[in-house]
Amino acid sequence: MTESLLSLLKNSWILLRSIAVISCSGTTITSTTLPIFLYYSVSDSRLLLVFLLLIFGAFLIHGALTHMLNDFTDHNSGTDQNSPAILSGGSRVIQTGVISARGLWLLGKWLTISLSLIVIGLIIFDYYKIALLLAIGIWGAVSYSLRPLLLSYRPFIGEWLSLFPSVLILGIAGPWLLLESIPEWALQNTLINALFCMAWVMVHHIPDREADRQASPVKKTSVVWAAEKFGKPFSRSPALLYFALTGLCAVWLGGDRIWATLGTLAVASVAIFLVLKMQVDNHHQVSMYEKIILILAMINGVWLGIFI
């Protein structure tokens, strides 16, 4: 009994890819709820409730639903089977026999249906804000990995129409639910964290570019597109683009948030240095730098939350 429970917890952790969820989604939530805790008169119990609700939602949508659908689709196209599978290549729950592709699809399908029904229920009972937050999360997961859209298989469109709005709304959610209006610092923090997250995803795709090219249909990520268009060394260019945009957003912070500005510029500069330095064919090195970038994402998100 104990061994079965431990096995279930281990496999669930693997499927959720919890480190990525914590580093990206969890950091985005923290970056916009921490200032409310530090500088606003909101009851601790209410703040904690909203924070835990958003964290639960992040694991449910970005962890469970997104990865169920993405793993199923990438298994069917063949890209996960050919991936170096260090940090990329899906959760590997299908490839290692933890669950069948059909079983994972059924879980993802029924979770999508259940969450959609919850959205309808929330609308009926006038919980419009939470309904919108959940609906955008569902849209991100479904549009990214399922036909007819399958946006993860299209360069740039996938991250901008699926990933970006899903992370953006998650960051805005805390202030939107807790305060009368969304402060400028919340929009700034959320945009910077979302761009940083997109840049990390581009690094994440670098080791998979050959597997993605061999997939059927071809998984033409921004990384694959850049490598085919300009050559293999340019597979790092989408990540560089989004890290550069992250740094440019620091200008928006301006002199009023000078410490936040300097922190974001420093973190973005280190990330750009790592991407420029990495050897795109050295999958172990890319994965090691990817781990460092995840740590930088967490540092930057908390830093932005402290200095508003």
Mean model confidence pLDDT for the chain: 94
Round to whole Å and give the CA distance between 221 and 225. Answer: 6
Round to whole Å and give the CA distance between 121 and 167. Answer: 23
The mean per-residue pLDDT over the stretch 182-186 comes to 96
The amino acid that residue 25 corresponds to is S
What is the band of 98 on the pLDDT scale with cuts at 50, 70, 90?
Answer: confident
What is the band of 70 on the pLDDT scale with cuts at 50, 70, 90?
Answer: very high
> 3-state class of 90 per DSSP?
coil
Predicted confidence (pLDDT) per residue in 196-211, tens digit? 999 999 999 999 999 9
The mean per-residue pLDDT over the stretch 69-75 comes to 96
Q: What is the pTM of this model?
A: 0.95
Predicted confidence (pLDDT) per residue in 210-225, tens digit? 999 999 999 999 999 9
Q: Rg (Cα) of the chain, in Å, rounded?
A: 19
The pLDDT > 70 percentage for the chain reads 96
Question: Which pLDDT value is given to residue 245?
Answer: 97
Q: Based on DSSP, count helices (H) and strands (E) in the chain, helices before strands.
A: 16, 0
The mean per-residue pLDDT over the stretch 34-48 comes to 96
Predicted confidence (pLDDT) per residue in 147-178, tens digit? 999 999 999 999 999 999 999 999 999 999 99
Question: Would you say residue 3 has pLDDT above 80?
Answer: no
Question: Which pLDDT value is given to residue 180?
Answer: 82
Q: Which residue is it, tokens 């196209």? A: 77
The amino acid that residue 143 corresponds to is S
On whether the CB atoms of residues 64 and 56 are closer than 8 A, the answer is no
Burial 144-154 (b: 16+ CB within 10 A, else e): bbbeebbbbbb
Question: Which pLDDT value is given to residue 86?
Answer: 76
Question: Would you say residue 35 has pLDDT above 70?
Answer: yes
Question: Would you say residue 110 has pLDDT above 80?
Answer: yes
The angle subtended at Cα 206 by Cα 204 and Cα 212, nearest 5°, is 100
Question: Which pLDDT value is given to residue 90?
Answer: 78
The closest of 126, 16, 125 to 67, measured between CA atoms, is 16
Q: How far apart are the first and last CA of the chain?
A: 49
Question: Would you say residue 1 has pLDDT above 60?
Answer: no
Q: What are phi and psi of 204, to 5 degrees?
A: -60, -30
Domain ranges for the chain: 23-306
Round to whole Å and give the CA distance between 232 and 196. Answer: 23
Round to whole Å and give the CA distance between 112 and 160. Answer: 21
> 3-state class of 218 per DSSP?
coil
The pLDDT > 90 percentage for the chain reads 84
